[in-house]
Chain A
Amino acid sequence: MDEEVISRESPIVRVSQFVKRYKKHVAVQAVDLAVRRGEMYGLIGPDGAGKSSLMKAIAGVLSYEGGEVEVFGITVDSERAAERIKHKIGFLPQGLGLNLYPDLSVEENIDFFARLRLVSEKELAERKAGLLAMTRLDRFRDRPMKNLSGGMKQKLGLICTLIHEPELAILDEPTTGVDPVSRRDFWAILAELQQERGVTVLVSTAYMDEASRFHRLSFLSGGQVLTSGTPAEVQALVPGSMVTFGATPQREAIARLKAQYKQVEALGPLLHVFTEETVPAAALQSITASLGDIKPVHLRVDEPELEDVFVALLLRQGKQPMTSKGPLVTPSSADRGLAIEAKGLYRDFGTFRAVDQVSFQVKSGEIFGLLGANGAGKTTVIKMLNGIMPPTGGEGWVAGVDMKTAGGAIKERIGYMSQAFSLYLDLTVAENIRLFAGIYGLDARATDQRFKWIVSMAGLKGYEASLTGRLPMGVRQRLALGCALVHQPRVLFLDEPTSGVDPIGRRHFWDILSRLAREEGVAILITTHYMSEAEHCDNLALMYAGRIVAEGSPAEMKDQVEKEAGQLLEVVTDQPGPALRGVTRAGFTGAALFGTKIHLLSIEPGQDEARLRAVLSSDGVHVLGVSARPLSLEDVFVYRVMALERQERATAKGAAA
């Protein structure tokens, strides 16, 4: 026991003044980091923050220019030193299933990695059975890896990384590109493994909302550590509160608030403002005061999320909140009619029905979100509405044109921005804009006019002659948006437009979108599996297996789930692992581990809290606090999809019996 205590104190990964350069580009600048035995340590930051470089250096597969990296007490500065630590390390590189062999089956992949690591056949059989059962991949043993879903690929990657029972697992963005349900599943498995086997986990993520899952974390930006510590410590750096409310007219309210507050966001009809007041009453008062004669409704005060804290830290560091004050051209001719209408759309691929009876409407000036896991049919719906894929049946109108009869006319009236920001990376910003202006047939005068508009709208001043490939992700994203808007479309389609963009860049992007919708009446249809993005939409539709299974505004969807399944409770205990087992055994729904805290759903918070305390104290666990948290859209998504999956399994069983 004493030994345990000592080893806990000396960190197993110690990084000091780490510097990594790629030619002239400095990727990581003077980073310090210490990971202790048995903890789950998170590296959080947008693409290009330096996470991967740091992780590769710790895993001993990347050389570096300055500083020191010490793993298990060995300085990793040569290939020979790296060889000495490799047997204690498991490394999962970035990219869905990139380290796996697509043509090998699940089992063959595991066997390969185990034999590579010289795991004895007996141990292999034992561990394989255990890990497959825990990740629920045992049913898919014989399936080739290439036929697995994104979430399953990552689970298999995790098994292959852990099959030799390393003391340290290094996981580089394991949840990027994975849908919320699989993501949550992945975190639950990781937390369980970590609790059971005491493996130390160093994991990176670009999703800010995953930050609360770690014991300790470092927030990286531009190759530097902005802050490190436990989630609570980080939160304490920026005291304040988040005030959410509705106010009309929204644009006017935003303008007034922005004069006073740095963080003002429009989430659909609601506004989301960060104030430095920690006392709810004072926070409310200061907001009401700065709104003047606009009366806020549905006021609510919450603790700030970690993402709000990160944004505040970035702002403090001198990153300016970019406001696009540019002229958004003529005030709209404002026909507030229907911009998109889908009626019973369906599409078959062979015998597989990818989209089934999808109907929805999007009005001009509305931001409509289509949510769903990979393969739920979102992209197929967009492709059909864009006129690049004919539907098998059903009807649709886009910008007043019947999509069956006039594909060409639709294409001239819509803007489209795809998953990878499809720009030409080897062309400059100006060349990209002029190319798309030419494609949409703009003449020289119109091109110049739109060029100026795009540059000012997207904040591209000074970047005109830069190669697009050298731009930061956030700028690239806004350029792609500008190119999609070059011909002033009335309808804008965004297919998973944000990934790897830093939080300030993402907020700027949404600022532009909400102005486009509110001021110009552009209808926006967006697909995403970033649930924090979905909060910005006016209305949402959740797709599952090709069908729309839930619809409504974000608030309505949350209310529905709250009615059905109850409120979200956060439980803080002194022993999270045993506590989670106790809670699950007591039959609470949706229980999951978030760092050291447990989240669960409860219909009768008062009664349940008492029951919870009783159950846990009989297990010898001390409850340090129970508090209600607002439901996030991710909670809604996970709840809905899990319910559907249960239902599907039940009917499948029924059919089998």
Chain B
Amino acid sequence: MTSTVHAPMFQTVWWRRLVVMITKELRQLFRDKALIGFFFWAFIMDVYLAGSGTSMQLVNAGMVVHDADHSVASRELIHRFHLPYFRFDGEVAHPDEGVRRLDFGDVVVLLNIPPRFQESLASGEATAVQMQVAATHSPQGLSAASYGARIVGEFGREVSARAMGMAANDNLSLPIVRSDHRIWYNPNQDESWFMSISEVLTITTIFSVLLPAAALVRERERGTVEQLLVSPLTPFQIMFPKVVAMTLVILAGTAMSLFGILHGIFNVPMKGSLLLYFVMMTLYVFTMAGLGLVAATIATNQAQVSLMTILVMAPMITLSGTWTPPEAMPVWLRDMMLLSPLHHFVTISYGIQLKGVGLNILWPSVLAMLALGSSLFGFGIWRFRRQFN
């Protein structure tokens, strides 16, 4: 009676089990209409919105002026604050009213020009203007302050040059150091490149943790995992197919973002090897899936697993260098982030996509990710096995 079970080679049975389990996971995934909708939204719309909508640069910052001089010089200075950086929102009669506008939040900069501004400049006296900057949103505030300082500095330099009897653009006879810079990897400093790549990383991270974790917890909630445990499947054979299926789906999503949005709309280049990029993406998704499986062995229901992954992912995403440079972090935090797979994948992803470098440069990150991935996955399986004994 049991001949059909024992006749085929061990190897064939092993593969057959893997294939049916992967097929099952994919089928279940595609039957979940809400999840599919969410998936398309994330990999297409979210990436598009991040690339076209958000900017860390100073754009369209509202400015009001308290001009106590009302002179040609004051007007000239005011006119130098212009779009796309600053938006002139008119004058205020009193500095207090300007501060009130800052409190109110519709302007970022209050420029205060003192009386006798032009007079002082003409008579060669030193004079100052005051700039008050709202820094509740600190990157914007910082940029506004430094842009403003540059504009005022430039204005002052030109005024003094004029005073020395020279034409504004004739600075040959003055000792000046000019910085000639060259920008690598993103020559037009197109922010949509950085933003869209970061968003792809974020979305990939979320899905690769959450999908396998939810799949495993759902099996436990519905009691189907018991049925699998009494079958001849090993814990590895139960967990691994989930990861494979989810990886396939996430790779498809990444390809969609990469070719459809990044390449198609924002013209983000793929300087390095496309194959290497996808191999690395696979490795990354595996690693994060390992983390998801560990979470799934701790959580008892789907709500818990979602909360737990958000708890882990939120700091990981903000601190791993997707949105901010890791160099700017305190040393202890930066060292801790070496444990974050995303930290290494950020290096790899930007390296391949924008710098066009290969394994010869990226190997330390690849090795780190391999180590993290296999230990997470191993730990997940160990916990899963232990739970049922």
Query: Which A residues have a C-beta under 8 Å from some C-beta of B?
Result: 330, 333, 386-390, 408, 411-414, 416, 418-420, 422-427, 431, 434-443, 446, 467, 487-488, 490, 493
List the 10 shortest-distance A-B pairs measured between CB atoms, nearest first: A438-B20, A441-B13, A422-B227, A416-B230, A420-B223, A446-B4, A422-B224, A411-B232, A426-B31, A422-B223
Binds A, one of B21-29, B117-125, B152-160, B178-186: B21-29
Once the chains bind, are B27 and A427 in contact (CB under 8 Å)?
yes
Selected contact of B19 from candidates A388, A425, A438, A440, CB within 8 Å: A438
Known contacts A420-B222, A439-B17, A439-B20; decide if A487 and B4 are in contact (CB<8 Å). yes
A490–B16 Cα gap in the complex (Å)? Answer: 23
Asked if B1 is at the interface of the complex by the 8 Å CB criterion, the answer is yes
Q: Mark B229-246, 1 if CB is under 8 A from A, else 0.
A: 111110000000000000
Which residues on the B side are within 8 Å of A431 (C-beta)? Answer: 24, 27
A426-B31, A426-B32, A431-B27 are contacts. A439–B228 as well, Cβ < 8 Å? yes
**Interface residue? B2 (CB, 8 A):** yes
Whether B24 and A440, one on each chain, are in contact in the complex, defined by CB atoms closer than 8 angstroms, is no
How long is the Cα–Cα vector from A420 to B227 in the complex, in angstroms? 10
Tell me, yes or no, whether B164 is within 8 Å of chain A by CB: no
In the bound assembly, the distance between CA atoms of A414 and B233 in angstroms comes to 13
Contacts of B228 in A (CB 8 A): 439
Give bound CA distance, A390 to B5, whole Å. Answer: 25
Is B389 positioned at the interface, with any CB of A under 8 Å from its CB?
yes
Q: Is B226 an interface residue (CB 8 A)?
A: yes
Which chain A positions have C-beta within 8 A of B230?
Answer: 386-388, 411, 414, 416, 493
- List 24 A-B residue pairs with CB atoms under 8 Å apart, sorted by A's residue number: A333-B1, A388-B229, A390-B389, A408-B232, A412-B6, A412-B232, A416-B227, A416-B230, A416-B231, A422-B222, A422-B224, A424-B224, A425-B222, A427-B28, A435-B21, A438-B17, A438-B19, A441-B232, A442-B5, A443-B8, A487-B2, A488-B4, A490-B2, A493-B230
Q: How far is the CA of A411 from the CA of B8 in the complex (A)?
A: 17
Q: Is the CB of B104 closer than 8 A to any CB of chain A?
A: no
Which of A416, A431, A436, A439 neighbours the largest number of chain B CB atoms within 10 Å of its CB? A439
B222: chain A residues at CB < 8 Å are: 420, 422, 425
Q: How large is the interface on B (under 10, 10 to 19, 20 to 34, 35 or more residues)?
A: 20 to 34
Smallest CB–CB gap between A424 and chain B, Å? 6
Which A-chain residue is minimally distant from B4 (CB atoms)? A446
Select B5's contact among A389, A419, A420, A440, beta carbons within 8 Å. Answer: A440
CB <8 Å contact, A439 and B2: no
What chain A residues lie within 8 Å of B8 (beta carbons)? 441, 443
Contact partners of A438 in chain B: CB under 8 A: 16-17, 19-21
A440 touches B28 (CB 8 A): no
Say how far A626's CB is from chain B's closest CB, in angstroms.
Answer: 47
Closest to A438 in B: B20
Kindly identify which residue among B7, B28, B232 contacts A439, using a CB–CB cutoff of 8 Å: B232
Mark B residues whose CB is within 8 Å of A.
1-2, 4-8, 12-13, 16-17, 19-21, 23-24, 27-28, 31-32, 222-224, 226-233, 388-389
Chain B residue contacts of A425, Cβ below 8 A? 222
**Is the pair A434, B20 in contact by a Cβ cutoff of 8 Å?**
yes
The answer to whether B223 and A418 have CB atoms under 8 Å apart is yes
In the complex, which residues of chain A have a beta carbon less than 8 angstroms from the beta carbon of B4? 442-443, 446, 487-488
Q: Given the complex of chains A and B, what is the CA–CA distance between A47 and B322 in angstroms? A: 52
Min CB distance, A505 to chain B, in Å?
20
Bound state CA distance, A131 and B23, in angstroms?
55
Alpha-carbon gap, A349 to B13, bound state (A): 36
In the assembled complex, how far is the CB of residue A290 from the closest CB belonging to chain B, in whole angstroms?
35
Which residues of B are found within 8 Å of A437, using beta-carbon distances?
20
Additional A-B contacts beyond A389-B389, A441-B13, A443-B16 (12; CB < 8 A): A412-B5, A414-B230, A419-B223, A423-B224, A423-B227, A426-B31, A436-B231, A438-B20, A439-B232, A441-B8, A441-B16, A488-B2
Select A424's contact among B2, B24, B231, beta carbons within 8 Å: B24
Specify which chain A residues have a CB less than 8 angstroms from the CB of B7 in the assembled complex.
443
The residue on B at minimum CB distance from A399 is B2
- A416–B223 Cα distance when bound, in Å, is 13
Q: Is the interface of B mostly helix, strand, loop or mixed?
A: helix
The answer to whether B227 and A418 have CB atoms under 8 Å apart is yes
User: B residues within 8 A CB of A330?
Assistant: 1
Residues of B within 8 A of A422 (CB): 222-224, 226-227
Chain B residue contacts of A413, Cβ below 8 A: 2
Q: Chain B contacts of A333 at CB under 8 A?
A: 1
Closest to B234 in A: A408
Q: How far is the CA of A422 from the CA of B8 in the complex (A)?
A: 27
Contact present for A439 and B231 (CB under 8 Å)? yes
Nearest chain A CB to B37's CB is how many angstroms away? 16
- Residues of A close to B5: CB separation below 8 A: 412, 440-442, 487
**Could you tell me if B231 and A411 are in contact, using CB atoms closer than 8 angstroms?**
yes
CB contacts (< 8 Å) of A441 on chain B: these are 5, 8, 12-13, 16-17, 232
B83–chain A nearest beta-carbon distance, Å: 54
> Is B28 a contact partner of A424 (Cβ separation < 8 A)?
yes
In whole angstroms, how far apart are the Cα atoms of A425 and B8 in the complex? Answer: 30
Tell me which of A387, A422, A431, A487 has the highest count of chain B C-beta atoms within 10 A of its own C-beta. A422
Give the residues in chain A near B1, CB-CB below 8 Å: 330, 333, 488, 490
A388 near B388 with CB under 8 A, answer yes
| Chain A positions within 8 Å of B31 at CB level | 426-427, 467
Which residues from chain B contact A424 at a C-beta distance below 8 Å?
Answer: 24, 28, 224
Most chain B Cβ neighbours within 10 Å, of A431, A437, A490: A431
Q: Give the CA-CA distance A436 to B32 in the complex, in Å.
A: 21
User: A408 CA to B230 CA in the complex, in Å?
Assistant: 9
Question: In whole angstroms, what is the CA distance A80 to B223 when docked?
Answer: 41
- How long is the Cα–Cα vector from A490 to B1 in the complex, in angstroms? 9
Query: Whole-angstrom distance from the CB of B20 to the nearest CB of chain A?
Result: 3
Instruction: Kindly list chain B residues whose C-beta atoms are within 8 Å of the C-beta of A411.
Output: 230-232
- CA separation between A230 and B52, bound complex, in Å? 73
In chain B, what residue has the closest Cβ to A417?
A: B227
Nearest-Cβ distance from residue A591 to partner chain B, whole angstroms = 40
Chain A nearest CB from B234 CB (Å) reads 8
For the complex, what is the distance from the CA of A330 to the CA of B5, rounded to whole Å?
A: 16
A497 to chain B, nearest CB (A): 12
- Expressed in whole angstroms, the minimum distance between the Cβ of A166 and any Cβ of chain B is 33
By a CB distance below 8 angstroms, the chain A residues around B6 are 412
B229 contacts across to A, CB distance below 8 A: 388
Which of chain B's residues has its CB closest to A447's CB? B4
Docked complex Cα distance between A127 and B229 (Å): 49
Residue of B224, B226, B232 touching A440 (CB-CB under 8 A): B232
CB distance A435 to B224 under 8 Å?
A: no
Question: CB-nearest residue of chain A relative to B20?
Answer: A438
The listed residue (B24, B227, B231) touching A427 by CB distance below 8 A is: B24
Greatest chain B CB density within 10 A among A330, A386, A426, A446 is at A426
Considering the complex, give the chain A residue whose CB is closest to the CB of B29. Answer: A426
Q: Smallest Cβ distance from B51 to chain A, in angstroms?
A: 34
Which residues of the partner chain B approach A436 to less than 8 Å between Cβ atoms? 231
A426: chain B residues at CB < 8 Å are 27-28, 31-32
Do the beta carbons of B28 and A435 come within 8 Å of each other?
no
- Nearest B residue (CB) for A441: B13
- Within the complex, the shortest CB–CB distance from A542 to chain B, in Å, comes to 24
Q: Which residues of A contact B226 (CB under 8 A)?
A: 388, 416, 418, 422
In the complex, what residue of chain A is closest to B7 when comparing beta carbons?
A443
Cα-based distance from A330 to B13 in the complex (angstroms): 24
